[in-house]
Amino acid sequence: MEAKGRLEAAGSLIAGGVHGVGFRRWTLKRAPALHAACKVRTVPDGSVEVAVLGPPGAVKELWEDLARGPRFARADGIVEIPCSLDPATVGVSIL
């Protein structure tokens, strides 16, 4: 059982067919449905960076969802990276 109020911050880079398929917007809708906050941005190499803050189970579920992505997306690789989201972060945004 998860400790009440415990939050986990995690980051990932997703490569593949993640442009022009609504990947960032889909991620921004999915995270709050799991009671998590997130930030999503495209990085110069074309990958999508996702930073998420939420209950550990929500973070794990979002990472599983990112591997599948929205319809027409193709995630060829997901690499875990450090995340610097502050627990005071609220909401979602595309950067």
The per-residue pLDDT for range 63-72, each reduced to its tens digit, is 999 888 888 8
Residue 49: name the closest of 80, 73, 21, 72 by CA: 80
Q: Residue 27: its pLDDT value, please?
A: 92
Q: What is the largest CA-CA distance in the chain?
A: 39
| Mean pLDDT of all residues in 35-42 | 89
Architecture, CATH, for domain 8-94: 2-Layer Sandwich (3.30)
d(CA 86, CA 53) in angstroms, rounded, equals 8
Q: Which two tokens stand for residue 16?
A: 């593949």
Q: Residue 6: its pLDDT value, please?
A: 82
Could you state, in order of their start, the residue ranges of all structural domains in the chain? 8-94
Residue 59: name the closest of 73, 40, 43, 38 by CA: 38
Q: Residue 88: its pLDDT value, please?
A: 58
Does residue 51 contact residue 39 with C-beta atoms inside 8 Å? yes
| Mean pLDDT of all residues in 20-39 | 90
Q: What is the pTM assigned to this prediction?
A: 0.80
Q: Which residues of 28-54 are buried (b: 16+ CB within 10 A; e: fewer)?
A: bebbeebebbbbbeeeeeebbbbbbbb
Q: Residue 64: its pLDDT value, please?
A: 92
| Mean pLDDT of all residues in 17-37 | 89
